[in-house]
Structure 1
Amino acid sequence: MDFNDIPYGPVKIIAGPHIGRIGYYDCEEIEFDDDIDWSSMSEEQAETVEGKDVAIVYFGDMLLTLNRGYYMIPFEHIRLVTTDDLMKRREELYRLCGGFKPIDNPELIVDEYEQLDYWAELHYVDSILVDRMIQARYSNKKNGAKVFISHSSKDKKVAIWISTDLTNAGHTPWFDQWDITVGESIPQKISEGVTEANFVIVLLSEHSVNSNWVEREWQTKYWDEVQKGTIQVLPVLLEDCEIPALLKTKRYADLRHDYNNGFQDILIAIDRLQEKES
């Protein structure tokens, strides 16, 4: 992957000494050689970055962490973050920063310096989540695909995450909680949302497959798909359940064990199907 594929901003560390952390990627690639002063690095960190292109990463808001320094992370060890990454890291940081860490892991020792570092990262993660939710809720993008999210009310948390990440990927999700205002007819707005959507993502779970409402939503688009000969219904598996007969022949995106890989499959499908239509 080229540096140009990842814009400056939030990234997740996926390998090396800082695996799992969320940071701010701030700098172009730099190739370090044998002339660098490695005195400030541990042996493990030095072996990780020597001779590689690296990203300059701050674990927290850059302006708040300048006095604490930056970290050199090999570019191959970073990727863009998803809402799932942020929510899970947020929970981890609350445990590391709060009073429950001795209970969760009695052998864990977090010194004062490390705790300040974690608080800075937690503040940054919280700010990214707020920004993403606001952007997803109130943005008015005209590009990308219009995607209706068909889901059970019991699966609303995942529906919000998917809607947020679709917005940040340049698409326009239709989500009942965001697109139906007080006083509007719920059936009418849902019918309009399904009709206008390029794709319907149906979140499959024990709750949704037993919901007549969810079934009506995606089946409306399914029969449009049959008539037009184009793929418009995208199944997404949230948990083990009885997949509806009409969807059994379709490949589904699998979010049961790995949200990030499953969500990437959704984006790839939307992009490829849009290209076929253009």
Structure 2
Amino acid sequence: MPKLSAVHDYFLSHAGPDKDFVKGVGTRMQLAGREVFLDEWSIEYGESIPGAIETALRENEAFVLFWSEKAKESAWTTKEYRSAVSRFIDDDDRTLVLVRLDDTEVPELIRDMKWIDGRGGDPDAVADALMGMRGNDRLIAMQNTLSELGIRMEYFHGYGVLLACPKCGATVDKLAGWSETDDERDDTYAGARCTVCGWHDGGEI
């Protein structure tokens, strides 16, 4: 099987109740320049769901099974991983990866497989493990992706880095910094505000 660091296309198989965590992992992977198939993002309105999944299983380099009690109970997830096992297990150019989200017993078909521990609920750690990244590798990849896309970011004292308004999505040229001083406490506060929707946030500096 190929090293995970060489893989760029991932099929993320999961049960509905685990979607928020899986989306967090997928978002980090996309920002690092990886392609991920996630039903909510990847299937267009009007498109055949079984057809889209069939195509993704055929084309993606890695099948990632997020395994949990809910996944075990999901007939759809079971169908996906059984199909993936038959397609991936004997293909040297593809790989099947297991991410355990809890202590639910792993299916016998993949029980002897080395797995990624996602039981701590840390999407950063899982994303790094899936991409074969260590240290600051993912942050460097994310920076390169943003640079390639030409996305402008700006640092605001008291808040941090923004590339868009968290409320309405306005770009950074529509954001402005602010600062206020509390003379009684001798404290200074600063942050960012959106000139489009009025959103603002910040903290003590």
Quickly name the TM-score band, shorter chain normalised. Answer: 0.5 to 0.7
Cα pair 2:11 2:37 within 8 Å, conserved: yes
Which residues of structure 1 form unaligned runs of 5+? 1-142, 270-278
Distance of aligned partners of 1:144 and 1:241 in 2 relative to their CA distance in 1, 3 Å threshold? closer
Give yes or no for the alignment of 1:212 onto 2:83: no
Give RMSD over aligned pairs.
Answer: 2.0
For 1:173, what is the secondary structure of its paired residue?
strand
Identical counterparts, % of pairs: 24
1:237 equivalent in structure 2: 100
Is residue 255 of structure 1 aligned with residue 118 of structure 2? yes
Q: Following the alignment from structure 1 to structure 2, what is the Cα–Cα distance between the partners of residues 203 and 148?
A: 11
Q: Could you tell me how far apart the structure 2 residues matched to 1:227 and 1:192 are? A: 19
Residues 152-163 of structure 1 mapped to structure 2, 5 A cutoff: 152-163=15-26
Give the whole-Å Cα distance in 2 for the aligned partners of 1:207 and 1:178: 21
- The TM-score normalised by the length of structure 2 is 0.57
**Aligned equivalent of 2:46, options 183, 196, 202:** 183
Please give the alpha-carbon distance, in whole angstroms, between the structure 2 residues aligned to 1:186 and 1:263: 25
Q: Is the 8 A contact 2:25 2:126 kept in 1?
A: no
> Deviation digits for residues 31-84 of structure 1, max 9, x if unmatched?
xxxxxxxxxxxxxxxxxxxxxxxxxxxxxxxxxxxxxxxxxxxxxxxxxxxxxx
Question: Could you say which structure has the higher strand fraction?
Answer: 2
Which residue pairs with 1:27 in the alignment?
none
Out of 149, 168, 175, the position equivalent to 2:12 is 149
Q: CA deviation at 1:266?
A: 1.4
**Secondary structure at 1:190 match in 2:** helix
1:265 aligns with 2:120: no
**Distance across 2 between alignment mates of 1:225 and 1:202:** 12
How many Å separate the matches in 1 of 2:128 and 2:7? 15
Give CA-to-partner distance per residue, 1:224-264, whole Å, 9 cap, x none. Answer: 22332455110001112111111111111111115133332
Paired residue for 2:37? 174
**Separation in structure 2 between the aligned mates of residue 192 and residue 231 of structure 1, nearest angstrom:** 15
Cα distance in structure 1, aligned partners of 2:13 and 2:70: 12
Between the aligned partners of 1:204 and 1:232, the Cα distance in structure 2 is: 16
Q: What is the TM-score normalised by the length of structure 1? A: 0.43
Structure number with higher helix proportion: 1
Shift in Å at residue 267 of structure 1? 1.5
User: How far, CA to CA, are the matches of 1:253 and 1:184 in structure 2?
Assistant: 32
Q: How many pairs were matched up?
A: 127
In the TM superposition, what is the alpha-carbon distance from 1:152 to its structure 2 partner? 0.5
Task: Give the whole-Å Cα distance in 2 for the aligned partners of 1:230 and 1:189.
Answer: 21
